[in-house]
Every structure is written in C-alpha cells, then in structure tokens.
Amino acid sequence: MTKRDEAKQDYLAGMKYKEIADKYDVSLSTVKSWKSRYWADETKVATSDKKVATKSQKVTPKTELHPAIQELDESGLNDKQKDFVSEYVRLSNATQAYINAYGVEYNTAMVQGSISLRNPKIKSEIKRLRQARLAELGIGVFDLIDDMAKEARADVRDFADWGSDEFEAIDEESGKQYTKHKSWVALKDSNNVDSWAVKKVTVGKDGPMVELHDRNKARKELLEYLNGKGVFAGTEEEQQVINDDNLLNAIKKSSEGVFKNDDDIES
C-alpha cells in the first residue's frame, strides 16, 4: 500500500489534513491535492448515510488542477520539491517559496531557495510551468519588444495638438488696439490613436496634459536586448528561470492600463 493509500484510510477514519501531513512528512497542500484528486469518491460513499439524516448541504465542486501542475507527479521530484516549484511559480520569490514548502527560517530559506533554483529537475519543472503559463496568457517575448519599440518611438504630437492664436483686442484704459496671443492644447480622439505609449492623461486647472512612458528607458531596454544583455535575451542556462520571472513580471505590468500609475524578484 502506498503512502497516499495509507493516508486515505486515515482521512476516511476522521484524521485532519494537518495530522496526515505530519504523520507522512508531506505538505498540507499535498494532502489536499490527494483528497481532491484521489479520495473524493470514497469520501462521498463514507458520508452518504450521514447526509441522509441531516439537512441538505451545498456541495463544493471539485477543483480541477491545471494539466501542467498535474504533470508534477511524473517529474521525479519529492513532495516538498513539488511544493517549492508550485510556490515559486506562484510567487516568483525563491526564499518565500522555500519557507512555504519546507517551513524553515528565513535565513535558511534564503540560501536553500537559491540552491534549489540550480537543481536541474526543479529548474526544468519551473521552466515548463512558466512556459505553460505564458502560453495560457497568449503573450510572448516579441509582443513585449513591440510594445517597448512603440514607447521608444512615441511622439507626443501623435496624441495632442497645440499652438497659439493671434487676435486683435482693445485696451480698456487707453482704448488702443493691440495684438493678443492665446496658447491652446487639444487632445486627439482616443479612438484615433494607439494609446499604448501613453502613461496617463490628466485635465487640470492649466488644461489637459499627456504623459508618455519613459522613452529613454524603453530605448535602453531595446539596446540591451539587441546586445544580448537584457532580461529577455538571457542565453545562459542558469539565468533562464530568472528571465522567465522577469518576462511574466513585465507582462503583469503591461496589463495595468493607460490611466493607472504603477519588486525586483528575489532569488
């Protein structure tokens, strides 16, 4: 009988999740995963008589795990390593992921988390889950490069017109005529422009203002990419996990929207 089967018997006998996790030296999330994936039917049978004698209760639907997560069972990693992988993909923070998976102190996790990222099997599983997540988002490296290029080439004249008008006026005191100048700014219709390069639009007491994303920063990032130094260009295998983190973080930031204002990922 496998560890999972023995744990199932304890669960059906009334043992709590944490008690099972402590008994079999696995994480709490592993026990919950066993329950949702392998023990659900047995649980229904064991409790059917009790449900007949009590009031009808709402049944919580079984949560389906993402296929990429399910494949962790065939990865060859132990339970705590699987938990570390899942937590790291969720948090992008090796130290906190190690604390969550192993329950150790911060200083230990800071060292061991970094070491874990260099484990070939762990690194491979993190990369696989990251790629599955990127595919699910439908956004890739070149999509972000295109966006950076838009920011680098952005011209405020694409979004607003401005100028100065001349008109004749009469001085109230002297009655003399003189030429007066009045400056103006007019925003272009948002339906007729590509707003990606716009950071924010405000209208204050001095009139409308268009603020673009930092062109110099975008140009620097593009140059780093072209020179093979940027976060998207990583060719060194030991940097690949961190590159995937930065890509996902960039995707997250890219979805914040035009009218919103915005950590480094700890490894």
pLDDT at 139: 60
**Does 104 have pLDDT greater than 50?**
yes
Cα separation, 186 vs 207, in Å, equals 9
Confidence of residue 73 (pLDDT cuts 50, 70, 90): low
Taking Cα atoms as reference points, which of 266, 235, 244 lies closest to residue 134? 244
pLDDT digits over 24-50, tens only? 888 877 877 777 777 765 555 445 444
pLDDT at 115: 95
pLDDT digits over 9-30, tens only? 877 877 888 888 888 888 877 8
- Identify the burial level of 37 via C-beta atoms within 10 angstroms of its C-beta, where 0-12 means exposed, 13-18 middle and 19 or more buried: middle
State pTM to two decimals.
Answer: 0.37
Cα separation, 222 vs 195, in Å, equals 20
Cα separation, 215 vs 151, in Å, equals 6
pLDDT digits over 243-265, tens only? 555 555 554 444 443 333 333 33
Compute the average pLDDT of residues 116-138: 80
